[in-house]
Amino acid sequence: MTNMRTDTKDVRLELVERVHSIGPVLADGVAEGDRERRLPDSTVRAIDGSQVGMVWTARAYGGLEADVRTLSEVTKALSHYCPSTSWVVNNINGSNLLASRFPGVAQKEVFGNNPGAKLASIFVAAGDAVRTAGGYLLTGKWPYASGILHDDWAILSAKETDTEGETVRLVSVLVPTTDLTVEDTWFTVGMRATGSHTAVAQEVLVPEHRVIPVEVQLGRQNTTDVTLPPLFRSPAVAAMAVICASVVIGIGQAARAFVVDQAPGRGIAPTIYRSRPDSRTFVSSLGKTALTIDAAEMHVNRSAEVIDEAASAAVALPESELRRIRGDVGQAVNLVTIALDELMWAHGAAAFAESNPLQQYWRDANTAARHAMLNVHVGHELYGGAFFGLDSIVPSL
C-alpha cells in the first residue's frame, strides 16, 4: 500500500476511496459472514490490505493516525457494503487507540513488528488479576469480544484482587489472543458476522508493564498534553462512541440508497401506482425519512468535529460537552432505527425476503444501536442532567 497523503481532507478522501475499492469483496462476503458468524477470510485480507484497521494506529509505528471525523467517514462507507465489517473495523481502531495508553514497551510489543496489529477490547471487568512473581495472573470470561477471532491482542478489564480475594482496584490488561481461548457464544439476529464471542483467560501470566489502572485507560488526563499528537489527546471513550454511532449511520444511508434505487421499478400493491415515485405519499414519506437520516448524521458529525477541534488545540472538553456527545450518539442511532422502520414500509413486504439487503440492514442496525455506549435513554438522561448540574450517571465519558 502506498504512503498516505498528509492533508486531513486528502487522507479522508483516500481512505474512503480504499473502502469503495474493497467494497465488492466485503459485499460478496456478507452471506457467508451471516451464516458462519464471523468475517470471511477474504474480508479480513481486504481490511489488512486497505489499512482501514490502522486509522487510529500511531504514525510512529507505521499507522495512519487520522482524526475522529476521518474514521467516522470510513466506517460509514464500510457499512454500505457490510455492517459487520464496519463494526469490527470500528472496534479494531478504538482498541488500537486504547493501546496508546499503555507504556511504550507494551506498545512496541504490539505494533513494533506489526503496524497492522488488530486489537479487541472489552470494558466490563469480568475477570480477576492476582499479583504474582513477574506480574499478574489473569482469569475470567469476557463476552461480546467483537472481532476476537481475527485479532492479535485484546484489552480486558479486570478486578485486581488481594490474597483474600478482595478487590483492590480495577485494571486494564493487555494480552495476546494466543494466550486466550474463545467460547462460541455469539448467537444473535443481527451483526452476526462480528463474531463477538467470549474471550476466556485461565491464569494467564501478564507482565506488569501490560497492566494499567482503568482510570488511566479510560481517563482524560492526556487531553492537554502537547507532547502527544492530536489523536492521542482525544477523549477515547467519547471518540469511540462517535465511531460506533457512525456504523449505524452508514447502515441507514445504505438502506436509503437501496430504496431510492429500487423505487422506480416497483409498484405499490394494491393501488394503481406502477412506479413508487408516482405516489406523492411515497415521495413525501421518503423525503421525511431522508431528513431523519441526515439529522442523525449531523449529530455525529458535530460530535466528531468538537472532539477533533479540542484535540488539535490541546484543550479539555468540559463534562457538559462530553455529556452532549453521549446524547448526540444515542439520538443519532435512535433516529436511524426509526428511519429504517419507515424504509421497510416504503419498500414493502419484499424488504423481509432473506435475499433482500434491507432486512440485513434492519437487523444489523437495530442490534448495533443497543450497544451500551449508544443507549439513547442514557444519553438523554446525561444531557438533560447537565442543564441542572446533576451528577453524571456514567463514570467514564
Read off the C-alpha cell for 358.
434491507
- Interatomic CA distance for residues 267 and 260, integer angstroms: 13
pLDDT number for residue 1? 56
Q: Where are the domains of the chain?
A: 8-111, 119-213, 230-386
Is the pLDDT at 164 greater than 80? The verdict is no
Is the pLDDT at 2 greater than 50? The verdict is no
Is the pLDDT at 166 greater than 90? The verdict is no
Handedness of CA 16, 19, 24, 28 (dihedral sign): negative
- Interatomic CA distance for residues 60 and 99, integer angstroms: 13
Please tell me what DSSP assigns to residue 132.
E
Instruction: Give me the amino acid identity at 347.
Output: H
Q: Which residue, among 113, 124, 40, has the nearest Cα to 82 in the 3D structure?
A: 40
- Interatomic CA distance for residues 16 and 78, integer angstroms: 8
Paired sense of beta strands 211-213 and 167-176, if any = antiparallel
Average pLDDT over residues 192-206: 98
Note if the pTM is more than 0.85: yes
pLDDT number for residue 45? 98
Handedness of CA 188, 191, 195, 201 (dihedral sign): negative
Beta bridge partners of 153: 119, 176
pLDDT number for residue 25? 98
pLDDT number for residue 117? 97
pLDDT number for residue 8? 82
| 62 φ/ψ sector (left φ>0, alpha ψ -120 to 50, else beta) | left
In this structure, the chain runs to a length of 397
Lowest mean pLDDT across 4-18, 85-99, 151-165: 4-18
- Interatomic CA distance for residues 375 and 364, integer angstroms: 16
CATH 3.40.50.300: does it fit domain 119-213?
no
Pick the CATH number of 230-386 from 1.10.150.120, 1.10.510.10, 1.20.140.10, 1.10.3720.10: 1.20.140.10
pLDDT tens by residue, 309-358? 999 999 999 999 999 999 999 999 999 999 999 999 999 999 999 999 99
Lookup result for grid cell 495476546: 176
Is the pLDDT at 4 greater than 70? The verdict is no
The rounded mean pLDDT for the chain is: 96
Is the pLDDT at 165 greater than 90? The verdict is no
Q: What count of other Cβ atoms lies within 10 Å of the Cβ of residue 154?
A: 24
Q: Mapping DSSP to helix (H, G, I), strand (E, B) and coil, where does residue 201 land?
A: strand
Contact 260, 344 (CB under 8 A): no
pLDDT tens by residue, 120-157? 999 999 999 999 999 999 999 999 999 999 999 999 99
pLDDT tens by residue, 242-295? 999 999 999 999 999 999 999 999 999 999 999 999 999 999 999 999 999 999
- Classify domain 8-111 at the CATH topology level: Butyryl-Coa Dehydrogenase, subunit A; domain 1 (1.10.540)
